Amino acid sequence: MPNTRLRRAVASSFVGSVIEYYDFLLYATASALVFNKVFFSSLDPLVGTIASFGTFATGYLARPLGGVLFGHFGDLLGRKRVLVLTMVLMGVSSTLIGLLPTYAQVGWAAPAGLVLLRVLQGVAVGGEWGGAVLMSAEHATSRRGLWASFTNAGAPCGMVLSTAALTLTGLVVGERALLDWGWRVPFLLSVALLGVGLFIRHRVEETPAFRALRTSAPDAAARRRVPLLEVLRDHPRVLLLAVGVGLAAFVVQSTLTTFVLAHGVQVGHARQTVLNALTASSACAVLGILFWAAVSDRFGRRPVVLAGAVALGVYGFALFPMVDARDTTLLVVALVLGQGVLHPMVYGPLAALYSELFSTGNRYTGASLGYQLAGLGAGFAPLLFAEVQRATGGRGLVIVSTVIAAFCALTAVCVLALQETSARRLDPTTAVA
């Protein structure tokens, strides 16, 4: 059984991740269904959708910046201190989105404010992930893949909460009111979630690996270190491979949670039907992530991620025919299979894998930067795929599937180029291969 410190660390990482991704992915759902009408109402509907996805992408552009900024201080000052700051930044940014005036009220100042707040969301979640993963991974003495994966499991759980919040709001107030003001309610709920998250995070102790590092290194020398430069100078190959390993997971993730959401409505599925299917598949993803991460503890990270990348590459060609059949059962099967079973094969082991690629002194920075640079795939995939649809008159889905397969192939190559990491110790003396 895990000890009390590990249980608190895992609970803090999971709850913090749920809250962060509730806020971050609520924006994704709203960008597909609401923001094109609220903040880009002067544009053609399809162009408005592209513009809405563009603001969605800015959050992913900001995530590497957050990873570097908060990773720097997390490696110098500690994981716990930084995680409090990232949670506050996310909560405040999301609440302010709920208070933004619309395009009809203030013109282009509205989408400009939306972009600014989305950037702050990206900075916050970019710093959150690495610290949350390390809080679990550096406390774990065994089954590191499982315990670290609770952070990744928080993402689909946050998606469940965000889609459920938007869905319930729409059911209560109606379609028209949802577009007028109802969409604000889920964003304003961020204030309550922030309070819960800060209470839980306050009870967590700093990780043993970081405490050991601070004990072994003089404070003056520690303050002079620049973790980013250490990663770029000493581990450029590892960083590049880390980016490649995560790309397929992120491209498929945003395809399933954002692009398919908008595409499903366009081809004739009811908006509520697509939201329900997405909610069900996100709930399955929580279990899938934990399961495949536990499997990677037994068989290694590389075999599980490699098998997942191959399976996702094939699945990409079956996804859109199933969605375009306009059959509710096929839609649910497509999303549950993709998000709940296949995607977690790649995504589940990533939390432990990234933490095992870097040494304690630059682990927060290295893991965050690799993960968040890979995350750019999630930010740009919906934008790219929507543009392909526009340019081809809606007939470019084979191109979309081919792009997905190409990213899966890249992930497979990068996994094969890495050494197995599951047996590595996470302490200050561990050397990166």
Sign of CA dihedral 378, 379, 380, 383: positive
- Contact call for residues 55 and 30 (beta carbons, < 8 A): no
DSSP for 192-253, written as a single string: HHHHHHHHHHHTPPPPHHHHHHHHHS-HHHHHH--HHHHHHHH-HHHHHHHHHHHHHHHHHH
Please report, for the chain, the start and end positions of each structural domain, with discontinuous segments joined by +.
4-417
CA–CA gap between residue 233 and residue 179 (Å, rounded): 50
For tokens 């700051």, what's the residue?
A: 85
Helix (H, G, I), strand (E, B) or coil at 381: helix
| Tokens standing for residue 419 | 């050494």
Position 1 scores a pLDDT of 44
Position 4 scores a pLDDT of 82
Q: What is the mean pLDDT of each run of 10 residues along the chain (433 residues)?
A: 79 88 77 70 57 66 90 90 89 89 79 84 88 91 92 88 83 80 86 86 85 72 76 92 95 87 85 86 93 96 97 95 92 95 96 93 93 86 79 79 94 95 77 52
DSSP state of 341: I
| Tokens standing for residue 38 | 């609220």
Q: From residue 51, give the alpha-carbon distance in Å to each of 28, 33, 411.
A: 13, 12, 29
| Tokens standing for residue 369 | 């930067």
Residue 353 Cα to chain centre, angstroms? 16
Position 223 scores a pLDDT of 59
| pTM greater than the 0.95 cutoff | no
Position 354 scores a pLDDT of 95
CA–CA gap between residue 202 and residue 224 (Å, rounded): 28
The CATH topology of domain 4-417 is Growth Hormone; Chain: A; (1.20.1250)
- Contact call for residues 227 and 73 (beta carbons, < 8 A): no
